[in-house]
Amino acid sequence: GAGVSQSPRYKVAKRGQDVALRCDPISGHVSLFWYQQALGQGPEFLTYFQNEAQLDKSGLPSDRFFAERPEGSVSTLKIQRTQQEDSAVYLCASSLEAGEEEQFFGPGTRLTVL
Amino acid sequence: SQQGEEDPQALSIQEGENATMNCSYKTSINNLQWYRQNSGRGLVHLILIRSNEREKHSGRLRVTLDTSKKSSSLLITASRAADTASYFCATGTQGGSEKLVFGKGTKLTVNP
């Protein structure tokens, strides 16, 4: 089947706007991850779901960032009152089972905050 | 914050040559993985080596792991222009979250 998909692929927001980024993991994958990748850097962990449970949100940089996965499949990362420092590529990854180390990444959403 | 560092930051070689990239990390790990990222695209998993393994091969890839030095190396043999990409090491840490902690990456250019 299809890999991990993310939408939109590109998003331009004015500072202060709210944005919502969507991730469709590989069907049947239990674990879902969000990462933030700044230009020229490696991805940095934001949050992790196992099914619908958010088990680790230690990487979310502020309370403006919120993620959900209500039915254990599609996930949404929401950023409220966007700031320029939020500009980055947001990557979603999924893995088949909890403890399955290989993660499958989507193409990312490039967010630019003006 | 990022786990460690890849070195070199950038590497340019000719097609057919071998490319070696190194990765250092800071904390105890369960496994270390290497990923490739082509420009504007997502990451692709290349190879995983567990903390109790010292060397692993996959096609033209050879990975070594030295847990006493907290370092790993990725060797790509007989490189091709299509190998041009950024390469990241990522560690799965002991105890708790399934998250991966990535380094800053090595940008490899293979010239035809």
pLDDT digits (tens, 9 = 90+) for A46-89: 999 999 999 999 999 999 999 999 999 999 999 999 999 999 99
Of B44, B97, B102, the CB nearest to A56: B97
For residue A1, pLDDT over 60 is answered with no
Q: B14, B6, B7: which is closest to B111 by C-alpha?
A: B14
Peptide bond into A8 cis (omega under 30): yes
Please give the single-letter amino acid code of residue B53: E
Chain B hits for A40, CB-CB cut-off 8 Å, are 104
- Per-residue pLDDT averaged across A29-36, rounded? 95
Tell me if B99 and A48 make a contact (CB, 8 A cut-off). yes
- Report pLDDT digits (tens) over B8-67: 999 999 999 999 999 999 888 888 999 999 986 789 999 999 999 999 999 999 999 999
For residue A29, pLDDT over 80 is answered with yes
Tell me if B92 and A101 make a contact (CB, 8 A cut-off). yes
* A23–B contact, CB cutoff 8 A: no
Which pLDDT score, from 0 to 100, does residue B42 have? 81
* B48–A contact, CB cutoff 8 A: yes
Of B2, B45, B97, the CB nearest to A102: B45
Q: How many residues does chain B have?
A: 112
Tell me if B100 and A33 make a contact (CB, 8 A cut-off). yes
Question: Chain B interface, mutation test: which of A102, A104, A110, most B Cβ atoms within 10 Å?
Answer: A102
Which residues are paired to A4 by β-bridges?
A: none
Min distance A79 CA to chain B CA atoms (Å): 20
- Per-residue pLDDT averaged across A91-100, rounded? 85
Asked if residue A73 lies in contact with residue A58, where contact means CB atoms within 8 angstroms, the answer is no
**A74 φ/ψ angles, rounded to the nearest 5 degrees:** -65, 145
* A94–B contact, CB cutoff 8 A: no
CA–CA separation, A34 vs A75, rounded Å?
A: 9
- Per-residue pLDDT averaged across B69-77, rounded? 96
Q: How far apart are the first and last CA of chain B?
A: 36
Chain B hits for A50, CB-CB cut-off 8 Å, are 98
Full DSSP string of B33-66: EEEEE-TTS-EEEEEEEETT-SEEEETTEEEEEE
Q: B86, B95, B107, B70: which is closest to B38 by C-alpha?
A: B86
Q: Please tell me which residue, A102 or B97, carries the higher pLDDT value.
A: A102
Residues A18, A24, A30, A32, CA torsion sign: negative
